[in-house]
Structure 1
C-alpha cells in the first residue's frame, strides 16, 4: 500500500510510519522541513514538503494512494493557552484537514480511506460516566477543537472515501508524549497523583495505537468515530500507583490542584479532567488489545528503567 501521513514526525506518526514500512508498505510523511529527516527515516519511508495549509506541491501524491492518515495539528501541551496559542491549536488542525480535502478532490483515483485524528477531549469533562462513541461532545475549548478537527475532512465522504475517526486517549510511550515527563519526579521519590487523583485517565499503549490505526485502515467497513483507549481506563491515582510499583518508587506526593492551575492556567484541564472512555466500537469490530491493563503496559515500556 502507499500511505500518506500528515503529522508523520510526531509520536504517533513516527511509530505508525515505521511499523508500516517494516511490512513493506510505501510510506510518505508530509513535513514543512523534509530536509531535516534526510537519512533519519526508516527504510521505506520518505518525507515530502507541505505547507500545512494547502495541497500545493504534494497533492498529486494522493492520486492512487491507498490511505491518508491525517494526524497534523499543533501540540496542545506546548505551553500556556494564551488566546494566540488557542487560535493556532485550532487553526492548524482546520488547515491540515482542508489541505487533505483539496488533495482528495483533485485526485483522479481517490484514496480508499482518510483516517482522521481526534481525541477523547471531544467529550469534555464527564465525571465517572462510562463514555462510548455515541456520547455527545462537550462544551469546553478542547471539545470545540476536536469537533472542528473531525469535521475538517468530512467533505471527502461525498467523494466515496471512507473516513474512520481516531478519538485517542493518552498514548503511553517512552519516545515522547506524557510518560517521559512523568518519570523524573517518581525517580526522585516525589511521584504522586495530580489534584484529587479521582479524574479518569484514558490510556493506550503506543503499539496498540498503531495496531488500531492499521486495523481501521484495513477494514473496509470501519467508518465514523472510534475511541482509541485501552478497555480498562484507570483513575489518575490508580495510574500513579501502578507507575510507582513498576518503578519501585513511592507514589504518595500529590500535586495540588491550585498549583497546577497556577502553573498551567487553562491548560491544567488536560491534567485535572479526564474521560472514562472505552473502545466499544473497536471491540465490537473484533479488535484485540495487546495491553489491556495499565501495569502490564507500563512494565512493557519501563522494565529496563525500574
Structure 2
C-alpha cells in the first residue's frame, strides 16, 4: 500500500512509519523539517521524505497523487510548556489549519486516497474525575482542548464528501520506551524520588504504542467513524505510579503536588492533573484485539529487556 503521513517523525509517528515499512508498504512523510526527520527516520528503502508548508497546499498537493492512504498526525505538543495565547494559537492552528490544508490538497487530486486516518485526542471529553466510562458517543467538553478537538475533527470530515473513508482516532496517553509521557516520568523513579502526580485519583486512559500502531494499521484496511485509541483497562494515577514503581523496583512515595505543576505549566497542567475514563468501544466492536490490554504487562514489555 502507498501511504502518506504527516507527523511521521514524532513519538508515535516514527514507530508507525517503521511498522508500515516492515510490512512492505511505500511511505511518504510530509515534514516541515527535512534534516531533522531524516535523522529520526533514516533512509530506508520504500521511504520518501518531502518538505512541505502545511499552510500552502498548492506547493505540495501533487505529491499525494496515487497514494491510497493518508494519515494525519501533525500537531504542536500539548504539555511541553505553558499555554500562553501564542501557544494556544499554535496548538489549534497546527491541527485545524493543517487538516484543512490536507483536505484541500486531496480535493485537487485526480486519483484520491481510499482512506484518511486523522488524529484527535481524548481531551475531546474534558475532565471527568467521577470516573464514568466514556465511549466514542460521549459529548465533547466546552473547554480549550474540547473545542480544539471538535474543530480538528470537523476539519477532516469534508473528505467523506470526496468519497474517502474517514477514521478519526482520539488518542490517549501513549506508552513507549523512547519518549512520550512515560519517558518524562521515568527519571524521578530511577532516582528513587518517584510518586503520584496530583491527587492520584484522576483516571489515565493509556495505550501501549504498539497497540496504537496496530489500531491505525487495522483502520487502514477497515472501519470508519470515531475510534478511541486507548487500552480497554484505564487506571487511576496512583495505580499507574504504584505499578511503575513495582516494575522498576523503586519506591513510589514522593507525590508531585498539583500546585507545583500548575506553577510550572499553568493551564497546561490540566492535561495530567485531570483525567477521564475513556473506553475503546468502537475498536472492540470492530474486532480489534489489544496485545497489551493490562497496564502491568504493557509496562513490563516496555521497561524490562
The TM tier, using the shorter chain, reads over 0.9
Q: Contact 1:168–1:229 (CA<8 Å) still a contact in 2?
A: yes
Q: Secondary structure at the match of 1:216?
A: helix
- Corresponding position of 1:72: 74
SS at match of 1:239: helix
CA distance in 2 between partners of 1:191 and 1:209 (Å): 26
Q: Check whether the contact 1:230–1:289 (CA below 8 A) recurs between aligned residues.
A: yes
Distance in 2 (alpha carbons) for counterparts of 1:117 and 1:266: 22
| Segment drifting more, 253-262 vs 79-88 | 253-262
* Residue-by-residue CA offset, 1:35-62 (whole Å, 9 max, x unaligned): 4444724332221011121323321132
CA distance in 1, matches of 2:60, 2:2: 14
1:198 aligns with 2:164: no
CA contact (8 A) 1:200 1:235 kept: yes
Q: CA deviation at 1:33?
A: 2.1
Q: Which residue of 2 aligns with 1:138?
A: 141
Q: Is the 8 A contact 1:18 1:42 kept in 2?
A: no
Q: CA offsets, 1:67-114, max 9 Å, x none?
A: 100000111122111011001100111121011111210011111011
How many aligned positions are there?
A: 302
How big is the shift at 1:260?
1.5
Alpha-carbon distance, 1:184 to partner: 0.7
Secondary structure of the 2:57 match is: coil
d(CA) in 2 for partners of 1:41 and 1:181? Answer: 28
Match of 1:3 in 2: 3
Correspondent of 2:180 among 177, 180, 205: 177
**Contact persistence 1:50–1:56 (CA under 8 A):** no
Q: Secondary structure at the match of 1:163?
A: strand
Q: Distance in 2 between matches of 1:54 and 1:148?
A: 20
Aligned residues of 1:54 and 1:98 also touching (Cα < 8 A): no
Partner residue in 1 for 2:90: 88
Given that 1:104 and 1:110 are in contact with CA atoms closer than 8 Å, whether structure 2 keeps it comes out as yes
Alignment of 1:1-306 (within 5 A): 1-38=1-38, 40-127=42-129, 128-219=131-222, 222-304=223-305
Q: Is the 8 A contact 1:111 1:161 kept in 2?
A: yes
The TM-score, its normalising length taken from structure 2, stands at 0.96
* SS class of match (2:290): coil
What SS does structure 2 have at the residue aligned with 1:153?
helix
Per the TM alignment, residue 275 of structure 1 is displaced from its structure 2 partner at its CA by: 1.1
- Structure 2: runs of 5+ lacking an equivalent: none
TM-score w.r.t. structure 1 length? 0.96
Alpha-carbon RMSD: 1.2
Aligned equivalents of 2:27 and 2:178: distance in 1? 20
CA contact (8 A) 2:54 2:102 kept: no
Q: Deviations over 1:171-208 (max 9, x none)?
A: 00122211111001001111111111000000000100
Quick one: distance in 2 between partners of 1:44 and 1:204? 28
Structure 1 runs of 4+ aligned residues shifted over 3 Å read: 35-39
